[in-house]
Amino acid sequence: MPELLRGLRRVYQGYFLLLFLAALLLMSDEGLRRLPVRRLLQLDPLSAASVLASSWLLPAGLAAALIVVAVTVLFGRAFCGWICPLGTLHQIASWLTRGLRHGPYQKANRWRAHFRLKYLLLLALGIAALAGTGVVGLLDPLSLAMRSFASGLLPAVDAALGKGGTRPRTFGGAWLTAAVFLGLLAANRWVVRWWCRALCPLGALLGLGARTALFRIEVDEERCNACNRCARDCQGGDEPFAKHRVSECHVCLNCLATCPEEAIRFRLFAPTSAPAGGVDLPRRQLIGAALAGAAVVPLLRATTAEASPEAIRPPGSLAEDAFLARCVRCGACVNACPTGALQPSLTTAGLEGLYTPVLVPRRGWCEPSCTRCGQVCPTAAIAPLTPETKGWTRTASTGAGRPVKIGTAFFDWGRCLPWAMATPCVVCEEVCPTSPKAITLEPAEVARADGRVVRLGRPRIDPDLCVGCGLCEAKCPVAAPAAVRVTRAGESRDARGGFTLGGRLP
Amino acid sequence: MSAPVNRRLALRRLGGAGLVLGGSGALAWLGRTGRGRFQPARSAQPVRDHRAAEEPSRPPLVVARGSDPAAMVTAALAELGGMARFVKRGETVLVKPNMAWDRTPEQGANTHPEVVAEVVRQCRTAGAARVIVADNPVHDASRVAARSGIAAAASAAGAELLSAAAASFVPAAIGGVVLASWDVLAVLLLTDRLINVPVVKHHSLSRLTCGLKNHMGLLGGSRGRLHQEIHACVVDLAAAFRPTLTVVDATRVMVRNGPTGGRLDDLKMVNAVAVGTDAVACEAWAARQLGLDPYDVPSVVQAEGRGLGRVAAGAGPVPEVGAGA
C-alpha cells in the first residue's frame, strides 16, 4: 500500500510537470484552445489571494484555486508534493544530488529554524498586496516557474540548438531569469527542496491551511524503534521521527514506504497534534515582516509618478495602477506573444514592474488580429480581447467603438531616410496596418548633393489613427534606433492620457 | 496499533477544515461579486446653468470708470440691480478670478485683488452662505495665491480659498463641439452661482484672453491639449458653465507678451471694470480695450453663433457709470 501511494504520487507529479511544459511549448492558437495555460495558473491560491487583496475582486477563473484549498484541508500540502511542477523539479534536483549530502538522516534532513522565513515572506507580501501591488508574483512558484522557462531557460535552449530550436527568440534579462532559477535548483545540493521549505510563499500559505488537514501522518509509537529512516527521503523536512510538523509536510508519503517497521500511516483524523515549530514565529519577526510589507508600496510608488514612455503594455491591459495590482508576473503573455514583442521588464516599467510585460517593437510587433496575451493571462490584468474588440482589423461592417490603442508612433526626422537623407523609403507606410493608414506619404522633391532631384514621399503620422502596433518601428530599415519609434503616449487604457483632442471637429 | 478515532478530535478537525474552506469560499464569493478597488472612471456629471433670471429693463453690460477697483465693481453692479439680483440668501457662490501666474498685482497677469475682494464682499452682503475663490493655476498654486494678493484680499472679504493642489476634480459633461467631457474642480458641480472675474490680456493664440478662456482655470487634466482647438474649446466651456455674472477687470490691460507679461511696459491703464450678464458682450467689450475688432476674435464670433450672447451689445456704445475719484 505505501509503495502504491508513492507510485501514484509520482504519476501525478509527472503528469502535472508534463502538462506544465506542454502548455509552455504548445503555445499556438490551436494549442491554447486545447490546453489553456491560464487554467493551470488559476489553480494557484496565492495568486488568487494576491489579486483579491490587491484589487478587491476575483476574476472568474481564479475561483479554481478553491480546488487546491479543498485538497489542502483534506490532505495538507499535497499540492506541494503531488502537483506543483516547480516542487517536482526541486525533488528531481535533490534526488540527483543525493550522493553529495552526508551524515545521519535526522541531521542531514532536519528542520531548520530558517525554514520559517517563508511565513515572514508571506506576511510581508500579503500586506504589500493589501496596499495594492502584485509583487507577490515574483515569488509565487507557478509564476516563477512559468517565467523562468518562458523567458530564461527555453530561449537558452533555443540559443544552444541554434536554428533547430523550437521557437528561437531572445528576451531581455534571460541570463538573470535563468540564473536565479538554476541557483534555486542548485540549492538542493545542500538542503533538499530548500526553495519549498524555506522560501516558497505558496508553501507557507498552504502550510497554514494544512493545520486543519483531515488526513495526516501518524506514527505508531509502539512499533517505532527510532531508526530515523523515515527522515531519509523526507521532502518537507517535517521530521516524522519526532514531533511531526504538519505545516511542513509535503505529503510525499516516502516515510510510509521507507519505515521498516510499518509504524507510519496516513489516515483520517490521525490524532497527531497541531505542529510545533514552523508557524510559531517570534513576535518581533512578525512585526518586522509586517512593517517591511507595509513599506513596499509607499517606497515603490514614491520613486516615479508614471511609467517610462517605453513601458508599452499589451493590448487590453488595465490602467497602470490596477495592472500592477493584478499582474502576477508569470510571463504567460510573454511566452504567448507570437512575434517576441512582449518582453519581461527589467527596468522599463520601474522596480515594481519587474517582470511585468512590456512591448518592445524592435523585437517584434503587436500582430493586428492576435489577442493571445489576454487569452493566457490568469488574472485578467490583460483583458481577454477578441479581434473585434481589439479593433485593428475591422472591416466597415464589423465592430463598433474605437480600437484599443497601446501607444503612438513618432518620427525622428533626423534619422528618417526621406526626411534627412533624400533617400526614398516607404517601409513604414507600407506595413502600417490600419485603414485608413495612420502613416501617409507627403510628396516632395529634394535636391541631393550631386544636384540630382529626387522625388520621394515623406512619412507623416496621424496620431488618432495610429494604434501603436509597432510594425513601423519593427520594420524600419534604420537601425539602432529606428527612425520611427513607438511610446505609450495616447494609450487608450489611460482615460486621461491622450495628447490630441481626438479629431472630433469636422 | 494506531489509536481509534476520537470523536471530539474528529469534530474539531472537521470544524477547522470547514472553516478554512468556507472562509476561502466566502472570500472568493466576495471577490466575484465585489466592485473592486480600481473603479472605472466615474461618468461625467452635468454642470448646472448658473444664470439668474433675465430682467429686460436692465442692460446686459455696464462699464464703470474710476480709480478705485472696489468702487467700480459696486457702481457697475448697482446699475444691474445689485448683487441681490444674482445671489440669494444661503447660496454657495464660486468666484473664478484669473489667479494663474506667479505675478504681483502691478504686473497685471492676474485679476486685481481688490476687484475679487469686492465681488466676495457683495456676495456676502447679499447673504451667500459660502463664497469660494478657486483657480487651477499654471504656476505653483501656493505661490500664485500669495503673490497675486488675491488670497489675502479675498479671505479678508470673507471667502474660502480653494487650493487646486489639494482640490479634487471630477468629470463633467461638456457636450460641446470638441469636448464631450472633461475633469473640473469638484466645487463647480456643487455651487449655486458662478461669477467669472477675468482680467483683460493679450494672448498669442486666442488673441484675447478674458472671460471665455478664464473658464479653463476650472479644469484639471492635461489642459494643453485644448490649445489644438482653442476657440471651439473655450466656446464649449462657456456653453457648459453659463456663469451668473462676468466681472471684467480692465483696471489695467496687458497689451503684449500675454498672457504672462511681466514688464509694466506690457500694460495699458484703462481704469475700468465691466460687469455683465452677457458673457459674449463682456468679451467683445474686452476685445476693444486691446484695440481689437471683436468680430476678428474667432471665439467671440463662435460664441455668438452658439447663442451664448450678443457681440453687438459690447461692440458698440456701452452704458457707463463713474465711480468716484
For A326-378, the pLDDT digits (tens) are: 999 999 999 999 898 999 999 999 889 999 999 999 989 999 999 999 999 99
Q: Is residue B50 part of a domain?
A: no
Taking CB atoms and an 8 Å limit, are A271 and B6 in contact across chains?
Answer: yes
Report the first-to-last Cα separation within chain B, whole angstroms: 113
Hey, which residues does A485 pair with through a beta bridge?
A410
Q: Which of residues 35-74 of A touch B (CB under 8 A)?
A: 45, 48, 51-52, 54-58, 60, 62-63, 65-66, 69-70, 72-74
Q: Where do we find the cell 487608450? A: A492
Which residue is closest to B182 within chain A, CA to CA? A496
B301 contacts B311 by C-beta, under 8 angstroms = yes
Q: Which residues of A touch B180 (CB under 8 A)?
A: 504
Q: Which residues of B touch A274 (CB under 8 A)?
A: none
3-class SS at A344? strand
Taking CB atoms and an 8 Å limit, are B37 and A325 in contact across chains?
Answer: yes
Taking CB atoms and an 8 Å limit, are B38 and A55 in contact across chains?
Answer: yes
pLDDT of the residue at A31: 80
Q: Which residues of B touch A63 (CB under 8 A)?
A: 28, 32
- Residues A370-427 have pLDDT tens digits of 999 999 999 999 999 999 899 998 755 545 678 999 999 999 999 999 999 999 999 9
Domain span at residue B243 reads 59-323
Taking CB atoms and an 8 Å limit, are B38 and A318 in contact across chains?
Answer: yes
Taking CB atoms and an 8 Å limit, are A496 and B183 in contact across chains?
Answer: yes
Taking CB atoms and an 8 Å limit, are B37 and A54 in contact across chains?
Answer: yes
Q: How far is B236 from chain A (nearest CA, A)?
A: 12
Taking CB atoms and an 8 Å limit, are B17 and A495 in contact across chains?
Answer: no
Mean pLDDT of B201-224: 90
Q: Which residues of B touch A272 (CB under 8 A)?
A: none
Beta strands per DSSP E along chain B = 45-46, 61-66, 92-97, 130-135, 160-163, 169-173, 181-185, 193-197, 199-203, 207-209, 245-254, 267-276, 320-323
Residue B35 vs residue A49, higher pLDDT: A49
Q: What is the ipTM of this complex?
A: 0.88
Which residue is closest to A52 within chain B, CA to CA? B31
Kindly state the helix (H) or strand (E) to which residue A447 belongs, with its residue range. strand A439-447
CB atoms within 10 A of CB B188: 24
Q: Which residues of B touch A57 (CB under 8 A)?
A: 31-32, 34-37
Q: Is residue B309 part of a domain?
A: yes
For chain B, what's the residue count?
Answer: 325
Angstrom distance (rounded) from CA B138 to CA B126: 32
Angstrom distance (rounded) from CA B31 to CA A59: 8
Would you say residue A506 has pLDDT above 50?
A: no
Which of A57, A272, A462 to mutate: most B Cβ within 10 Å? A57
Angstrom distance (rounded) from CA B254 to CA B269: 9
Angstrom distance (rounded) from CA A329 to CA A341: 16
CB atoms within 10 A of CB A77: 32
A213 contacts A80 by C-beta, under 8 angstroms = no
CB atoms within 10 A of CB A183: 10
For residue B266, give Cα distances in angstroms to A408, B107, B207, B259: 40, 8, 15, 10
Q: Which residues of A touch B30 (CB under 8 A)?
A: 58
A207 contacts A279 by C-beta, under 8 angstroms = yes
pLDDT of the residue at A165: 53
**Nearest CA among B319, B197, B308 for reference residue B247:** B197
- Residues A189-220 have pLDDT tens digits of 999 999 999 999 999 999 999 989 999 998 98
Q: Give the distance between the most distant pair of CA atoms in chain A.
A: 104
User: What does the angle CA A326 – CA A330 – CA A333 come to, to the nearest 5 degrees?
Assistant: 90
Q: Is residue B90 part of a domain?
A: yes
Q: How far is B183 from chain A (nearest CA, A)?
A: 9
Of the candidates B34, B178, B228, the beta carbon closest to that of A57 is on: B34
- Residues A146-191 have pLDDT tens digits of 999 999 998 888 888 876 555 567 888 899 999 999 999 999 999 9
**Nearest CA among B149, B64, B61, B135 for reference residue B94:** B135
**Nearest CA among A37, A40, A42, A54 for reference residue A323:** A54
Would you say residue B116 has pLDDT above 60?
A: yes
Percent pLDDT > 70 in chain B is: 98
Mean pLDDT of A445-471: 94
Would you say residue B106 has pLDDT above 70?
A: yes
Mean pLDDT of B47-56: 94
Q: How far is B5 from chain A (nearest CA, A)?
A: 6
Percent pLDDT > 70 in chain A is: 94
pLDDT of the residue at A156: 87
pLDDT of the residue at A402: 83
Taking CB atoms and an 8 Å limit, are A269 and B10 in contact across chains?
Answer: yes
Taking CB atoms and an 8 Å limit, are A69 and B24 in contact across chains?
Answer: yes
A495 touches chain B (CB under 8 A): yes
pLDDT, chain B, mean:
93
Instruction: Report residue B284 as a C-alpha cell.
Output: 467683445
Angstrom distance (rounded) from CA A74 to CA B13: 10
Angstrom distance (rounded) from CA A259 to CA A266: 13
Query: Is the preceding omega at residue B259 within 30 degrees of 0, hence cis?
Result: yes
> How sure is the predictor about A505, in pLDDT bands with cuts at 50, 70 and 90?
very low
CB atoms within 10 A of CB B225: 18
Taking CB atoms and an 8 Å limit, are B28 and A66 in contact across chains?
Answer: yes
Q: Which of residues 351-390 of A touch B (CB under 8 A)?
A: none
Which of B1, B21, B24 to mutate: most A Cβ within 10 Å? B24
CA torsion, ordered A316, A321, A322, A327, to nearest 10 deg: 80
Q: Which residues of A touch B2 (CB under 8 A)?
A: 218, 220, 265, 267, 270
pLDDT of the residue at B325: 54
Angstrom distance (rounded) from CA B135 to CA A85: 59
A268 touches chain B (CB under 8 A): yes
- Residues A263-278 have pLDDT tens digits of 999 999 887 765 554 5
A303 contacts A350 by C-beta, under 8 angstroms = yes
pLDDT, chain A, mean:
90
Mean pLDDT of B171-192: 93
For residue B257, give Cα distances in angstroms to A329, A459, B206: 52, 36, 13
Task: Please give the model's pTM, rounded to 2 decimal places.
Answer: 0.89
Q: Which residues of B touch A207 (CB under 8 A)?
A: none
Taking CB atoms and an 8 Å limit, are A74 and B180 in contact across chains?
Answer: no
Would you say residue A454 has pLDDT above 50?
A: yes
Q: Where do we find the cell 451664448? A: B308
Q: Is residue B297 part of a domain?
A: yes
Angstrom distance (rounded) from CA A452 to CA B235: 51
DSSP, res A153: I
Q: Rg (Cα) of chain A, in Å, rounded?
A: 27
Give φ, ψ of B271 to 5 degrees.
55, 50
The distance of Cα A13 from the centroid of its chain, to the nearest Å, equals 21
Which residue is closest to B27 within chain A, CA to CA? A52
Would you say residue B81 has pLDDT above 80?
A: yes
CB atoms within 10 A of CB B27: 18
Q: How far is B21 from chain A (nearest CA, A)?
A: 6
Q: Which of A88-92, A319-323, A340-344, A371-375 has the highest mean pLDDT?
A: A88-92
Would you say residue B312 has pLDDT above 70?
A: yes
Q: Is residue B20 part of a domain?
A: no
Q: Is residue B24 part of a domain?
A: no
Q: How far is A274 from chain B (nearest CA, A)?
A: 10
Q: Is residue B290 part of a domain?
A: yes
pLDDT of the residue at B134: 96
pLDDT of the residue at A35: 83
A224 touches chain B (CB under 8 A): no
Taking CB atoms and an 8 Å limit, are A212 and B41 in contact across chains?
Answer: no
CB atoms within 10 A of CB A24: 24
Taking CB atoms and an 8 Å limit, are A69 and B21 in contact across chains?
Answer: yes
Angstrom distance (rounded) from CA B131 to CA B113: 15
Taking CB atoms and an 8 Å limit, are A505 and B177 in contact across chains?
Answer: yes
Which residue is closest to B236 within chain A, CA to CA? A505
Q: Which residues of A touch B20 (CB under 8 A)?
A: 69, 72-73, 209, 212
Number of domains within chain B = 1
CATH label of the domain that carries residue B98: 3.40.50.11440
Contacts of B145 (CB under 8 A, 6+ apart): B99, B151, B161, B163
